[in-house]
């Protein structure tokens, strides 16, 4: 077995950068406030603008576009993500996506670069601070990205682009608006403080989103959904959904799920820029949800030796009919867009009928789960 000393395994550049940025940010806030001026509207707006520009470049650009190819984007947007993603100081698109594709391919295993099985702190930021022999990237899993001139330009000049877009630019904007004190204020707030916020937002997805939350779609790995994380991370907190349906451009698939990255992507689609959005059909999502609910209910019943066979039959029957209804609705909605005006009413009526049928099936299935729960509780009381 090869042995490594602690010193040779530490990536000093990353370690110093990660530990120093929060200290510099805090010192900057105190010094600027006490020696120059209190932060004002300009600092606040520059902070928000760079928080969104750099944050979305990671969640939409690095993650959903480059890593997962969940949609398409024109070159000005790719350039925007390359420039402001560099300003998030999370390495180049090539490095980030290679790690991320390995994370999805080998989640929770030794080959996962930020495996949550190694604990909160390792998956949060520890993995960035050490050199793991396993993860000397050969970038063989990001060959598709290497054909982009913008992406390769960013890879070669990552530190320079990051310094300009993430530090110098906010300072320059502040200086041009309000002079020296505002320039320093914007460097502190739009550069340093914002870098810390975006860093830890992303890191929480690798740590917290694999530890705390619910698993409505799959229990195959440790990924979890959590609303509060979605709120902090431009929608990335619906991580169980994302691991289950990773090609989907959405992480929060319902309209009311807080997912600003999804809204950003769809807004470009609305503007007429063809984004070729990939989304999981509803019938697949609902089937996955039923499977997980069944698995959870059965494990409870089996712990009490209650027979599940009859329930299994009822669930299978309902699941199949519900899938068919949703699939038919999906097909008819497409048809509705292309059909002639005279036949629109008939198609709409058919959709209404199918939706009614689906709602009935859903209610019946709910009753099956209720009955399983009743039997479990009755048995639990009896023993
Ligand atoms: Zn992902
Ligand atoms: Zn993950």
| pLDDT, mean of residues 342-348 | 86
Average pLDDT value over all residues in the chain: 92
> For the chain, how many residues are written?
383
Q: Give the whole-angstrom CA distance, residue 250 versus residue 245.
A: 9
Torsion over CA: 232, 234, 235, 240 (sign)? negative
pLDDT(47) > 90: yes
Ligand 2 centroid, distance to 222 Cα (angstroms) = 8
Q: Which two tokens stand for residue 372?
A: 């399983």
Torsion over CA: 116, 120, 123, 127 (sign)? negative
- Cβ-Cβ contacts under 8 Å for 221 (sequence gap 6 or more): 107, 108, 210, 243
Q: Which ligand is nearest to the CA of 113?
A: 2
Q: Give the whole-angstrom CA distance, residue 63 versus residue 71.
A: 11
Ligand 2 centroid, distance to 305 Cα (angstroms) = 35
| Bridge partners, residue 238, by sequence | 225
pLDDT(1) > 50: no
Ligand 2 centroid, distance to 254 Cα (angstroms) = 20
Q: Which ligand is nearest to the CA of 261?
A: 1
- The reported pLDDT for the residue numbered 169 is 98
- 135 falls in which pLDDT band (50, 70, 90)? low
| Bridge partners, residue 130, by sequence | 10
Ligand 1 centroid, distance to 331 Cα (angstroms) = 28
The per-residue pLDDT for range 240-278, each reduced to its tens digit, is 999 999 999 999 999 999 999 999 999 988 787 778 899
Ligand 1 centroid, distance to 67 Cα (angstroms) = 7
Q: Where are the domains of the chain?
A: 6-270, 282-382
- Cβ-Cβ contacts under 8 Å for 168 (sequence gap 6 or more): none
pLDDT(3) > 80: no
Ligand 1 centroid, distance to 13 Cα (angstroms) = 26
Q: Which ligand is nearest to the CA of 69?
A: 1
pLDDT(8) > 60: no
Task: Please indicate whether residue 340 or residue 383 has the higher confidence score (pLDDT).
Answer: 340
Ligand 1 centroid, distance to 177 Cα (angstroms) = 38
The answer to whether the pTM exceeds 0.75 is yes
Query: Dihedrals φ, ψ of 195, to 5°?
Result: -60, -45
The per-residue pLDDT for range 141-194, each reduced to its tens digit, is 999 999 999 999 999 999 999 999 999 999 999 999 999 999 999 999 999 999
Lowest mean pLDDT among 6-10, 18-22, 55-59, 75-79: 6-10
- The reported pLDDT for the residue numbered 5 is 46
CB-CB contact of 313 with 268 (8 Å): no
Q: Which two tokens stand for residue 144?
A: 């598709």
- The reported pLDDT for the residue numbered 7 is 44
Torsion over CA: 51, 54, 56, 62 (sign)? negative
| pLDDT, mean of residues 87-114 | 96
Ligand 2 centroid, distance to 221 Cα (angstroms) = 9
Query: How far lies 232's CA from each of 180, 226, 283, in Å?
Result: 32, 10, 29
The per-residue pLDDT for range 285-332, each reduced to its tens digit, is 999 999 999 999 999 888 888 888 889 999 999 999 999 999 999 889
């Amino acid at each position: 077995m090869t042995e490594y000393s602690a010193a040779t395994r530490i990536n000093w550049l990353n370690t110093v950068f990660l530990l120093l940025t929060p200290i510099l940010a805090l010192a900057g806030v105190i010094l600027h406030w006490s020696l120059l001026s209190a932060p004002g509207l300009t600092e606040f707006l520059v902070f928000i603008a760079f928080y969104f520009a750099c944050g979305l470049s990671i969640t939409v650009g690095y993650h959903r576009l480059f890593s997962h190819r969940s949609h398409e984007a024109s070159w000005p947007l790719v350039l925007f993500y390359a420039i402001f993603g560099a300003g998030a100081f999370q390495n180049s698109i090539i490095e980030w996506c290679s790690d991320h594709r390995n994370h999805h391919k080998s989640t929770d295993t030794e080959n996962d670069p930020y495996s949550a099985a190694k604990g909160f702190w390792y998956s949060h930021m520890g993995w960035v601070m050490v050199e793991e022999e396993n993860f000397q990237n050969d970038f063989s899993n990001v060959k598709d990205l290497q054909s982009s001139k913008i992406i390769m330009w960013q890879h070669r000049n990552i530190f320079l682009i990051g310094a300009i877009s993430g530090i110098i630019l906010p300072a320059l904007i502040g200086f041009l608006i309000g002079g020296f004190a505002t320039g320093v204020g914007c460097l502190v707030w739009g550069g340093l403080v914002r870098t810390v916020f975006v860093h830890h937002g992303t890191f929480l997805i690798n740590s917290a989103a694999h530890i705390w939350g619910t698993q409505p779609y799959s229990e195959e790995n440790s990924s979890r959904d959590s609303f509060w994380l979605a709120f902090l991370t431009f929608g990335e907190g619906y991580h169980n959904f994302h691991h289950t349906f990773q090609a989907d451009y959405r992480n929060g698939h319902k309209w009311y799920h807080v997912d600003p990255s999804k809204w950003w992507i769809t807004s470009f689609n609305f503007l007429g820029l063809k984004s070729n959005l990939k989304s999981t059909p509803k019938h697949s999502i609902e089937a996955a949800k039923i499977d997980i609910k069944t698995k959870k209910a059965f494990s409870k019943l089996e712990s009490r030796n209650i027979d599940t066979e009859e329930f299994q039959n009822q669930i299978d029957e309902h699941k199949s009919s519900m899938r068919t209804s949703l699939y038919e609705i999906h097909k008819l909605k497409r048809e509705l867009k292309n059909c002639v005006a005279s036949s629109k009413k008939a198609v709409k009526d058919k959709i209404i009928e199918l939706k009614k049928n689906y709602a009935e099936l859903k209610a019946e299935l709910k009753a099956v789960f209720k009955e399983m729960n009743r039997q479990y509780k009755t048995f639990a009381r009896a023993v």
